[in-house]
Chain A
Amino acid sequence: MKPDISVTFLTKKMSSPLVLASGVLGLTADSMKRVLDAGAGAVTTKSFSMEARKGHPCPTILPFENGLLNAVGLSNPGAEEMNKEISKLRNLSKGLIFASIFGKTPEEFGRTAALAAESEPDLIEVNVSCPNVESEFGTPFGASFRDVEAITKIVKHAAGAVPVSIKLTVHCQSLSKMAHVCEESGADAITAINTVGPGMLIDTGVMKPVLANKVGGVSGPAIFPIALKAVWEIAGTVKLPVIATGGVTTTDDALQMIMAGASLVSIGSAVYYKDLDVFSNINAGLLDWMTERKMKNLQEIRGKAHE
Chain B
Amino acid sequence: MSDKMKTYPVVDVKTHHPDMKSFYFTQIEEQIHPGQFFNLWLPGVDEKPFSVSDVYQGIMEITIKAVGPFTRAFMNVKRGDLIGIRGPFGQGFTLHQHSLLIGGGMGIVPLHYLARLLRAKGFHFEVILGGRSEKDIPFVTEFSEWAPTTFVTEDGSIGYQGLVTQFIKEIIYRSKLSHIYSSGPEGMLIRVMEEAAGNGLDYEISFERYMKCGIGICGQCVVDGSGIRLCKEGPVLNRDEAENVTEWGMTHRNAAGKRENKLS
Contact = CB atoms under 8 A, between A and B. Distances in A.
Interface string B215-230: 1111110111111110
Nearest to A201: B5
B5 A75 contact: no
29 contacts: A23-B218, A24-B219, A25-B216, A28-B222, A30-B225, A31-B227, A31-B229, A34-B226, A34-B227, A54-B256, A57-B46, A58-B46, A58-B48, A59-B39, A59-B41, A60-B218, A63-B4, A64-B4, A72-B218, A75-B256, A76-B257, A81-B259, A203-B5, A203-B43, A205-B6, A206-B84, A268-B217, A272-B216, A272-B217
A66 to B, nearest CB: 12
Interface of A is mostly: loop
Nearest to A33: B227
Interface in A183-212: 201, 203, 205-206, 208, 210, 212
B258 A30 contact: no
A232 to B, nearest CB: 27
A61 B84 CA distance: 14
B218 A62 contact: no
Interface string A7-32: 00000000000000001111111111
Nearest to B5: A210
B44 interface: yes
Nearest to A25: B219
A55 interface: yes
B256 A271 contact: no
* Closest 9 pairs between A and B when the two form their complex, measured CB to CB: A30-B227, A205-B7, A77-B258, A58-B47, A27-B219, A25-B219, A31-B222, A61-B213, A52-B256
Interface in B73-128: 82, 84
Interface string B1-44: 00111111000000000000000000000000000000101011
Contacts of A206: 7, 43, 82, 84
Contact of A61 (B44, B218, B226): B218
Contact of A34 (B39, B48, B228): B228
B67 interface: no
A101 to B, nearest CB: 15
A111 interface: no
Interface of A: 23-34, 46, 52-55, 57-64, 68, 72, 75-78, 81, 201, 203, 205-206, 208, 210, 212, 268-269, 271-272, 275
Contacts of A268: 217
Nearest to B9: A205
Given A76-B256, A81-B258, A46 B46 contact: no
Nearest to A63: B3
A78 B45 CA distance: 26
Given A46-B257, A62-B4, A72-B212, A27 B82 contact: no
Given A58-B47, A64-B4, A206-B7, A77 B218 contact: no
Contacts of B39: 58-59
Contacts of A77: 253, 256-259
Contacts of B216: 25, 271-272, 275
A140 to B, nearest CB: 21
Contact of A208 (B44, B48, B257): B44
A88 B237 CA distance: 25
B257 A59 contact: no
A8 to B, nearest CB: 28
Nearest to B81: A206
Most buried by B among A26, A27, A77, A269: A27
A142 to B, nearest CB: 22
A230 to B, nearest CB: 22
Given A26-B219, A30-B227, A34-B227, A55 B7 contact: no
Contacts of A57: 45-47
Most buried by A among B4, B5, B232: B5
Interface in B198-254: 212-213, 215-220, 222-229, 232, 253-254
Given A25-B218, A34-B226, A81-B258, 15 more contacts: A24-B217, A27-B220, A27-B257, A28-B227, A54-B254, A58-B39, A58-B48, A62-B5, A63-B4, A72-B218, A75-B257, A77-B253, A208-B44, A212-B46, A275-B232
